[in-house]
Structure 1
């Protein structure tokens, strides 16, 4: 790498960090606190939490399901009852092949979810058809729904019961924020692991 390329790379990384910091500064902490309280209630009452997303958001859903299931409690059997809907490739490919990709999350919810459970969706655009269909199915069943969204928030912004909207037209930063807010929730919930 030339000196000029090195300097350009460093400047790019600084600008990225500054954009990310601005989004963190503007975070809707009141809505995040509502989600935190909901998750604490799910943990206490053994209600199930489902997390859905596509692409990088799917990876974040799987990562955070792991953290909610085990990392926040570290006591066998005491974690949050959580399911990452994009985690099982056999189920995903079966449903996509037989019913269409738009139904890969909603059909899982139709079997596994019960009224009183919670659905959290991650979406950069808020317009993925399978996310919108999952939100609609969750409403039909009686789940409380939360959407963590980037860009304009898309159609999911109106469908979810509560949104946490990262106002940034940058997919990578929107996905960073999904993981950052998820880790904020995990660390907050750790405060209650001795009482739940």
Structure 2
């Protein structure tokens, strides 16, 4: 058991080390632009990725927003159980995210899809719709990449297929996006006046 734990932790460290700092920096700037322009930010995923999206919305909506002169407008589309189940039941499970975006999303908003496989039909459909509507799209995926990696404007691939390791690394990325605003006062400068 000790050897298994050591090997697991070694593989986990490799997954974390594979997070590309320059790509994370681009996402931080994307969120900063969204904040400055008062855009909305949406996140979605299934299973463990759904939990990561909820965690991200909490940290960005509360922790990061507490440090800013104006709050982030962020929603995890995984959190409204009655709406999710109504959409899944009345339409199809692949519509549970896209139909929420149809109610909320506007061009220029940020849409973040999180998936280990990159192939979840509901995430693929939502990202495709968001891209068509002029939203800024982000995909966090594992080594299989899937269609999400081709659809999104910004993509970070964790080069592993192990669900636990990829989900942990993806949560690491989402934490970086939030803590960048919590721990770097320069990012919290007031938004530029409208042109």
Q: TM-score, normalised by structure 1?
A: 0.91
1:45-64 matches, within 5 Å, as 45-64=37-56
- Of stretches 109-118 and 20-29 in structure 1, the one that deviates more from structure 2 is 20-29
Match of 2:84 among 60, 78, 92: 92
Question: Structure 1 pair 150/194, CA: closer, same or farther in 2 (3 Å)?
Answer: closer
Q: TM-score, normalised by structure 2?
A: 0.91
Match of 2:125 among 109, 124, 133: 133
Match of 1:119 among 92, 105, 111: 111
1:34-183 matches, within 5 Å, as 34-74=26-66, 78-183=70-175
Give the superposed CA RMSD.
Answer: 1.5
How far apart, CA to CA, are the structure 2 residues paired with 1:17 and 1:181? Answer: 18
Partner secondary structure for residue 50 of structure 1: strand
Q: Give the superposition deviation at 1:75.
A: 5.6
Q: Runs of 5+ in structure 1 lacking a partner?
A: 1-7
Partner secondary structure for residue 72 of structure 1: helix
Where relative contact order (Cα < 8 A, 6+ residues apart) is larger, the structure is 2
Check if 1:33 corresponds to 2:11.
no
Partner secondary structure for residue 51 of structure 1: strand
Residues matched between the structures, number: 188
Question: Structure 1 pair 76/170, CA: closer, same or farther in 2 (3 Å)?
Answer: same
Q: Give the superposition deviation at 1:11.
A: 2.1
Q: Runs of 5+ in structure 2 lacking a partner?
A: 191-195
How far apart, CA to CA, are the structure 1 residues paired with 2:68 and 2:118? Answer: 35
CA displacement, residues 25-75 of structure 1 (integer Å, 9 cap, x when unaligned): 222222111111000111122100000100000000001100000111326
